[in-house]
């Protein structure tokens, strides 16, 4: 059976570095490990577990303020959803000018500049202010995961070189040393072998995709859906269900070569997935492998199109263009034989189980999601209806090199919902949901948070769930990120920097996307520096008006917006 460790062993190394500074001798509780004498120990001002966008942003914020950082990442690629998971950035319509941190916009600009510096763009594409390499519909910046990876390393490499940042790729936290309401140390393991290390710091940041540190640290946390009785949210279910979580997706990359035949062998589970009808309420539109699906906002049946040769698909959205990351017309003729597209569609959402359980269950569901992908690819190659009345596009092929894998699929599943801290403040639908907000306050503006440390915007967008909910897609309002949602109720030195903040099942749906995750991480990294400088704890920064005002002044001076323009 394929183990979780094997799942992360890829055919290409990805060019990542793992540089260790001289080992330090600070000691955590010796009772944590019987083999403490043989474990290597590293010490820093802050340890960040998880190298996704939130983890990288937290590290960059801490580093620019002079802190020493240890950053761990389970796979061999940093970048999370934008790299290892293969998801082009989902962003709001104002992203080019405001609604994100200055550092995030610099990151986006650097991605565009990377193409200008290194790729044979056409003159028209080279001069375009807002270059979109793939001309995909989902984002104003659809690009290759490897380019985002390269840019993140450009941003981090000076700190790696100077020894301020210790980056440990292919390392995962497996235990925590807890004393009272504090974490004293983490034990991490090298996923390529059995080597273990002890990480000691005054602060720890959980930027993992599933909130891995929360159970290790015995922090209070929530999973799944809360009940309407509990949260008073307009669209919450009548009964709470901790297993009611959004589907995850293992994305994959493909291109199309006209006249070629790359048809894969018929998958073993093809008949199952070909006839699979999601058991959802309200009902799904039919079979999953079809061009008809439920339009998220209305749940009415909507027909999509699929045409990789560029011909019109009428009024139907062409799925090929939806998350296209390379449009060959942006490059000098002959550079690309065809376009390259990412598949993160309704047809490969995996609804049959959650990942926040054992390693065995994680591996099983990821393996099944890959079987769904292979079945979807075979269906696209052989059966999907063509606009000319024919069936299938045999010129489609997996592009594993695009995602740094041998099978064409992402290194890690795109997880939309993780464990969430029980926070000092929980963001509810009444704070950000347009309809619920209007009903509660009569306002068409999101709630204002006195402790705002960032802003963001995205609809409350929940994909079909593992216990049978269809899409929940409702309008939200441009919102703030309250500091109280980043503070656990009890643990003093653990902070979240991913999808694990104090939201509900519903509000997670608008706080889970790329720029918001980055904003959360950047606020957390800056908060750690401020708490250390003031010799206080993060909770006190929120509780004491003079500290909060000073901290907000500091983060604004570093390019973090805390209010939307009027």
Q: Return per-residue pLDDT of the chain as tens, 566 residues.
A: 334 444 333 333 333 333 333 323 333 444 454 544 567 999 999 999 999 999 999 999 999 999 999 999 999 999 999 999 999 999 999 999 999 999 999 999 999 999 999 999 999 999 999 999 999 999 999 999 999 999 999 999 999 999 999 999 999 999 999 999 999 999 999 998 879 999 999 999 999 999 999 999 999 999 999 999 999 999 999 999 999 999 999 999 999 999 999 999 999 999 999 999 999 999 999 999 999 999 999 999 999 999 999 888 888 999 999 999 999 999 999 999 999 999 999 999 999 999 998 999 999 999 999 999 999 999 999 999 999 999 999 999 999 999 999 999 999 999 999 999 999 999 999 999 999 999 999 999 999 999 999 999 999 999 999 999 999 999 999 999 999 999 999 999 999 999 999 999 999 999 999 999 999 999 999 999 999 999 999 999 999 999 999 999 999 999 999 999 98
**CA neighbor of 402 nearest in space, from 10, 5, 9:** 10
498 burial (CB, 10 Å; 0-12 / 13-18 / 19+) is buried
Q: What is the pLDDT of residue 369?
A: 98
Q: What is the pLDDT of residue 209?
A: 98
Half-sphere exposure of 297 (CA within 13 A, CB side): 4
| Alpha helices in 123-165, H assignment, sequence order | 123-127, 145-162
Q: What is the pLDDT of residue 17?
A: 33
Which residue reads 């793939």 in tokens?
Answer: 134
The pair of three-digit structure tokens given for residue 381, joined into one six-digit string: 């190659």
Q: Which structural domains are found in the chain, ordered by start?
A: 4-122+146-216 (3.50.50.60), 223-242+416-557 (no CATH), 248-403 (no CATH)
The pair of three-digit structure tokens given for residue 298, joined into one six-digit string: 């209305």
Q: What is the pLDDT of residue 32?
A: 53
Is the link from the previous residue into 347 a cis peptide, with omega within 30 of 0? Answer: no
430 contacts 437 by C-beta, under 8 angstroms: yes
List phi, psi (to 5°) of 45.
Answer: -75, -30
Q: What is the pLDDT of residue 244?
A: 97
Q: Is 437 left (phi over 0), alpha (psi -120 to 50) or beta?
A: alpha
Q: What is the pLDDT of residue 23?
A: 27
Q: Which whole-number Å values give the CA distances from 170 to 188, 191, 206, 413, in the listed order?
A: 10, 5, 16, 16
100 contacts 515 by C-beta, under 8 angstroms: yes
Would the CA dihedral through 149, 150, 152, 157 be positive or negative? Answer: positive
Q: What is the pLDDT of residue 520?
A: 98
The SS3 assignment for 530 reads helix
For the entire predicted model, the pTM comes to 0.93
Q: What is the pLDDT of residue 262?
A: 98
Q: Which whole-number Å values give the CA distances from 242 to 67, 207, 465, 467, in the listed order?
A: 37, 21, 12, 10
3-class SS string, 364-433: HHHHHHHHHHHHHHHHHHHCCECCCCCECCCCEEECHHHHCCCCCECCCCECCCCCEECECCCECHHHHE
79 contacts 152 by C-beta, under 8 angstroms: yes
d(CA 391, CA 396): 13
Would the CA dihedral through 447, 451, 457, 462 be positive or negative? Answer: negative
Measured in residues, the chain has a length of 566
Q: Is 294 left (phi over 0), alpha (psi -120 to 50) or beta?
A: beta
209 contacts 78 by C-beta, under 8 angstroms: no
């Amino acid at each position: 059976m394929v183990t979780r460790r094997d799942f992360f062993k890829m055919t290409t190394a990805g060019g990542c570095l793992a540089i260790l500074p001289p080992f330090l001798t600070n000691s955590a509780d010796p009772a944590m490990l019987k083999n403490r004498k043989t474990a290597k120990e590293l010490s820093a001002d802050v340890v960040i577990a998880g190298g996704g966008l939130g983890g990288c942003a937290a590290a960059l914020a801490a580093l620019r303020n002079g802190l020493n950082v240890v950053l761990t990442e389970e796979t061999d690629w940093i970048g999370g959803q934008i790299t290892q998971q293969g998801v082009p950035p989902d962003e709001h319509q104002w992203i080019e000018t405001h609604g994100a941190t200055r550092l995030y916009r610099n990151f986006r600009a650097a991605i565009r500049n990377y193409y200008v510096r290194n790729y044979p763009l056409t003159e028209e594409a080279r001069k375009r202010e807002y270059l979109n390499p793939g001309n995909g519909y989902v984002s104003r910046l659809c690009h290759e995961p490897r380019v985002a990876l390269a840019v993140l390393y450009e941003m981090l490499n000076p700190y790696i070189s100077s020894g301020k940042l210790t980056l440990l790729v292919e390392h995962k936290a497996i235990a925590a040393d807890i004393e009272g309401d504090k974490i004293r140390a983490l034990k991490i393991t090298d996923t390529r072998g059995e080597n273990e290390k002890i990480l000691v710091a005054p602060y720890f940041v959980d930027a993992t995709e599933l909130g891995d540190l929360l159970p290790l640290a015995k922090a209070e946390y929530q999973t799944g859906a809360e009940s309407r009785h509990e949260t008073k949210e307009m669209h919450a279910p009548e009964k709470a269900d901790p297993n009611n979580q959004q589907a995850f997706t293992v994305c994959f990359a493909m291109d199309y070569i006209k006249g070629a035949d790359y048809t894969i062998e018929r998958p073993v589970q093809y008949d199952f997935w070909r006839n699979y009808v999601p058991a959802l309420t309200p009902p799904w539109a039919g079979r999953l492998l079809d061009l008809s699906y439920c339009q998220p906002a209305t749940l009415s049946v909507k027909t999509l199109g699929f045409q990789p040769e560029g011909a019109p698909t009428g009024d139907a959205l062409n799925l090929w263009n939806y998350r296209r990351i390379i449009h060959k017309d942006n490059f000098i003729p002959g550079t690309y034989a065809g376009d390259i597209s990412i598949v993160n569609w309704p047809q490969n959402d995996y609804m049959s189980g959650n990942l926040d359980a054992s390693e065995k269950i994680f591996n099983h569901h990821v393996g099944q999601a890959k079987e769904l992908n292979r079945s979807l690819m075979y269906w696209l190659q052989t059966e999907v209806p063509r606009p000319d009345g024919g069936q299938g596009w045999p010129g489609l092929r997996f592009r594993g090199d695009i995602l740094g894998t041998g099978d064409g699929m992402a290194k890690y599943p795109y997880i939309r919902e993780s464990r969430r801290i029980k926070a000092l403040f929980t963001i509810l639908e009444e704070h950000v949901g347009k309809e619920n907000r209007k009903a509660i306050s009569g306002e068409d503006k999101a709630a204002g948070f006195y402790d705002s440390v960032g802003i963001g915007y995205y609809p409350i967008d929940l994909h079909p769930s593992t216990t049978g909910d269809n899409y929940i897609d409702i309008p939200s309002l441009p919102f703030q990120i309250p500091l109280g949602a980043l503070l656990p109720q009890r643990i003093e030195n653990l902070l979240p920097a991913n999808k694990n903040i104090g939201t509900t099942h519903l509000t997670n749906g608008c706080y889970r996307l790329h720029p918001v995750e980055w904003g959360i991480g950047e606020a957390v990294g800056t908060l750690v520096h401020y708490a250390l400088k003031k010799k206080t704890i993060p909770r006190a920064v929120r509780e004491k008006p003079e500290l909060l005002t000073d901290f907000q002044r500091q983060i604004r001076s570093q390019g973090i917006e805390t209010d939307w323009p009027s």
